[in-house]
Copies of this chain bind each other. A is one copy, B any other.
């Protein structure tokens, strides 16, 4: 059985190690995999997208724990959701919004305190609620036992490509990766004909088939590994060149033939 962890805890503090100890105390032998612990602090939107890039590559039956939880200790609910054979344990703050879009979800409000740590702190539900609940599920306890099914769980509006007058499209930057690649919510079909993306001094007119084919310093579009269009420079940072960040709008002028 596999449990994955996605948090904004970083790896400097012992928080992640503590969660793993809690899991292994309850569910010995479970395999724990880090997706990332470097979600920007409190950034539910970016955490939601990072999780969505990863979870579908794990085997059916995997339990995914997501702790990006600025509301820890407040009235926000903890939830557990089953989608496409995967289970997600997270705060009900929208961090599962991308997951919900990928299939029919059965979502439970986590109320079964007998699965929690004996003392639940006000500040670390990763340790006291989410890790032990995931561990109970990993050792075979039923999802139904976690608490009642709910339908009013929180879903954030996800950025959609907008079609503007004058053969223009507006996309959104979903995130910037380590290499400075700009991951947008545009898809290949949006750049089917001729197009131009301009921001400041950079201009993109071409969808490349790999990182190395263009001249050095050229900014190009490429279909990235998430299925979305990315703006990139061969061995350079497109994000710095464009001056954009997560959530920025990307405007595309199209040749007119794009749907």
Contact = CB atoms under 8 A, between A and B. Distances in A.
B14 A11 contact: no
Q: Chain A's interface: helix, strand, loop or mixed, by majority? A: loop
A17 B2 contact: no
6 contacts: A9-B178, A70-B212, A72-B210, A74-B211, A122-B210, A122-B222
B73 A211 contact: yes
A14 B235 contact: no
A14 B54 contact: yes
Q: Tell me how many chains of this kind the complex includes.
A: 3
B13 A34 contact: no
Nearest to A175: B13
Interface stretch (A140-148, A165-173, A223-231, A242-250): A223-231
A231 to B, nearest CB: 12
B35 A213 contact: no
A36 B13 contact: yes
Interface in A204-259: 209-213, 222-225, 230, 234-235
A178 to B, nearest CB: 4
B58 A38 contact: no
A210 B121 CA distance: 9
A121 to B, nearest CB: 4
